Chain A
Amino acid sequence: MSDEKLKSEQLADIDYNPPSKDWMDVKPVIKKGTFNYPAVEASEKYLDLPFSRKWDPRDDDWKLPENWKEIVLKGLKDLLGKYRSFKVFMDICVRCGACADKCHFYLGSGDPKNMPVLRAELLRSVYRNDFTTAGKIFGKLAGARELTEDVIKEWFLYFYQCTECRRCSVFCPYGIDTAEITMMGRELLNKLGLGIDWINTPAANCFRTGNHLGIQPHGFKDSVDFAVDDLLDFTGIRVEAPINKKGAEILFVVPSADYFGDPHYFGFLGYLALFHEIGLDYTFSTFASEGGNFGLFHSAEMMKRLNAKIYAEARRLGVKWIIGGECGHMWRVLHQYMDTINGPADFLEEPVSPITGTKFENAKSTKMVHIAEFTADLIKHNKVKFDRSRNDHWIVTFHDSCNTARGMGILDEPRYIIRSTCNNFYDMPENTIREQTFCCGSGSGIGTDENLEMRLRGGFPRANAVKYVREKHGVNLLTCMCAIDKATLPAVMDFWVPGVELAGVHELVGNALIMKGEKRSGDLRGQPFKGEEVKEHV
């Protein structure tokens, strides 16, 4: 994107007037900054996906397989037969428009096809045409249209301009899960070899090495060892971080970015410090060294295969139950799909905190507990002590990650943890948080550099809310519990609200945690605590 620098004034100048033509007559425009690169052939082949080939969305010819139409219609028929919910979503929408202005992509782009209702209509129109009597008889009058190559191009553009965040679904009077419509659309596109690289390569890496980044077991160990040394520098304490330890009580699974990227890594140090302090008997796994599941963004089958790895490893290591880290869509898979696709995980025990004795009833079937629930429970039972002032250099707000907020209802636990570990916390306006949280604009595998313009547009409503608390309270830290947020929101903040950094909730925990025998030299980023800045230079 370096050649044409985007400007916030330009992107904020959004035209909400729809084109004068009927939406069916408006052709899709694939332009730089608003689409994602196709998957590389090596990854497609690794995943045994059909029709892997070199193609470019900017070309007229997408080199579709000869019988592409047949493949899509048969695929659609299969999905309608397999998922009753999908069939209902296709039939039930009355196009009331309640969802229209709830989508961050519509708000940030003004493109009517980013209204969730119209995005769904891209697929629904084909459904009407080929699967309903009214559509077959009345055609366009009944909102039906024929499946053409342009329709496929439109699907590719708009189903990858949806982050499957489900904010629209909160406002739908029928409860239509528009994310699931996007998921069906993407599944159909992948049947034609029209996947994107940011999804299919991580998925292939995850099978090959255990995680999306393609970090091999010895690389994983190197990173964890490095983190242990780093934590020693910051706290004066050498913690243990077991890997592949058979018979450990708990398997701990984190998104791979936690042991690779900034600012994720500082939260990873927070986990290590916390588990040391409470003496948790846990283990990491190299085989299940990924919490995220990019399969969710590809197809139900891919999601199932990737999710199964975590449970296979829990069985192999003989753990009792599982804790999952600060990951977003991992929890959508866990909370809403795992139980029926790979569960119930009867071979594991119902999770009980070994420190507090709390039984996590909500995780009775999946046997997997979110770290925010686990930590909040520790705090509630006074099992950990904090010095909040160690986070005084931060004025904090909290971004509810879509998948943990709307996907599983974790709303109060992170706030409880944040309030317990820092002195300055301010929530953003209520229609932008909790169930109504605005997406980062980069989730569901579209957080790429080439898609930056669309990400900035989609991130605009979130940034706007951050700007509000920054101006009102001087917020300089946006906390969250999702690796995609941590990776992609920095660019969104720099663009719309410069001066706001990103951090995981467990980074605050790691900073404030009082550890026995500790000698703190600064926070987990190596920065001096507030009031101790001078000491640095002595």
Chain B
Amino acid sequence: MSYEDWYRQDRLPHIFCAGCGNGTIINCTLAAIEQMDWKKEDTVFVSGIGCSSRAPGYILTDSLHTTHGRAIAFATGVKMANPDLHVVVFTGDGDMAAIGGNHFIHACRRNIDLTVICMNNQIYGMTGGQGSPTTPKGCLSSTTPFGCAETPFDLCELATAAGANYVSRWTSYHVKELEKAVKVGLETPGFSFIEALVQCPTAFGRRNKFRQVADHVEYLRSHSLLKAKRDRMLENGEHIPEDMYIVGEITRRKRPAMGVKP
């Protein structure tokens, strides 16, 4: 058995653009789920609206493709109705951070036993490249033609502050690390949040000098800073560049969780 068996082979190839990182994240998630020995009947994938949210359509299990931003709300309902199910939520930054931000922080507060994988491409890719709450400062999008002037959300810090049990961030370059992080997230009782930074050559890269997919992946690789190294640099009083993404396991703790069978 390999994770390829979880794909709906009749639906592939998927509709994501050439070079889109979402397929990589689905691969990593399914590879982690494959190691968990879960049955396909006991696993549910939930998603909202957006590029990333098309992912459950290509997976062989039961899935919910729900209204915009409400993926976590629907997933909470699924988990509460039948706590035996393993619920995994695929969501994007526009879906989860923008319109579904409230549902997200309340799911973190309740610490309900879900695994949320956020494919953060830093833009609204499907609707034509509008700026999202995670678009970095100075980046161009169709609604910020002179550069984004707002401070982006740090989703991992938000989840940590709201009370999630497991929080980590990786990029689409770090496939093996992401696979391990998703596996830890699936094993952790309580809310686990994994943010995966992905490249978007069509909407983000085209406007921000990353026309080649490889350039964007290389940028993600060179601008990711391990959390352990960040802490070491802070100890030594070194300067940390502002455009670095902190990757690694941000939080792991044991707050009382909801929806876990004793």
Do chains A and B interact in one complex? no
Residues in chain B within 8 A of chain A (CB atoms): none
Residues in chain A within 8 A of chain B (CB atoms): none
